[in-house]
């Protein structure tokens, strides 16, 4: 049995958002879809927002992908881009950026996982649990791209 407190896994996928705020739930929905895929080297976590406590979590992985909804209309409906450590903190220990989490991992634990942000364009941010039609289309585009680019790099569990 793997000790997740000490052992490093392949890829961590962190879905960020709020599934009770319509398209703000895109990060969670994407992560939910991947969690059901059966890929053993992808661990999935769900967060309303990143917190300093997540620093230790990301230190256990070689690769981290932060998935979140975007208010920006992205050209392909999504964007997967590298994420680098940056020392910009929020005064609260809650609501930290992926860049800050990576910065703290480097400063506190000397860990530098390769990281990316997957942003998926949303359109409707009101109360409710259903995604807009446009968000569903963007989610599917992002899922296909992710599986084409990332999943071949990991082995499917038997």
Three-state SS for 76-143 is CCEEEEECCCCCCCCCCCEEECHHHHHHHHHHHHCCCCEEEEEEEECCCCCCECCCCHHHHHHHHHHH
% residues pLDDT > 90 (the chain): 70
Domain-embedded: residue 135: yes
What pLDDT does residue 86 have? 86
Distance between start and end Cα atoms, the chain: 16
Domain-embedded: residue 95: yes
Q: Domain containing 123 — which CATH number?
A: 3.40.50.1450
Domain-embedded: residue 157: no
Range of the domain at 106: 9-152
pTM: 0.87
Write the pLDDT tens digit of every residue in 12-44. 999 999 999 999 999 999 999 988 877 667 899
Least confident of 59-73, 76-90, 117-131: 76-90
Domain-embedded: residue 1: no
What pLDDT does residue 95 have? 72
What pLDDT does residue 10 have? 81
Domain-embedded: residue 129: yes
What pLDDT does residue 6 have? 52
Rounded to an integer, the average pLDDT of 73-78 is 93
Domain-embedded: residue 68: yes
Write the pLDDT tens digit of every residue in 122-158. 999 999 999 999 999 999 999 998 888 766 654 343 2
What pLDDT does residue 45 have? 96
Q: Which residue has the higher pLDDT, 148 or 51?
A: 51
Domain-embedded: residue 2: no
What pLDDT does residue 154 have? 46
Helix axes 26-35, 133-149, angle to 10 degrees: 40
Structural domain tally of the chain?
A: 1
Is pLDDT above 90 for 117? yes
Domain-embedded: residue 158: no
């Amino acid at each position: 049995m793997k000790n997740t407190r000490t052992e490093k896994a392949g890829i961590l996928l962190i879905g960020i958002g709020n599934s009770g705020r319509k398209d703000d739930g895109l990060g969670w929905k994407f992560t939910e879809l991947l969690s059901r895929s059966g890929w053993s080297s992808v661990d999935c976590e769900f967060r309303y927002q990143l917190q300093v406590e997540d620093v230790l979590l990301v230190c256990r992985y070689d690769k981290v992908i932060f998935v979140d909804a975007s208010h920006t209309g992205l050209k392909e409906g999504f964007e997967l881009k590298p994420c680098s450590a940056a020392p910009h903190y929020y005064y609260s220990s809650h609501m930290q950026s992926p860049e800050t989490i990576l910065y703290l991992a480097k400063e506190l634990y000397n860990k530098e996982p390769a990281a990316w942000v997957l942003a998926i364009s949303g359109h409707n941010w009101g109360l409710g649990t259903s995604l807009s039609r446009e968000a569903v289309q963007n989610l599917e585009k992002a899922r296909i791209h992710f599986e084409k680019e990332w999943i071949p790099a990991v082995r499917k569990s038997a």
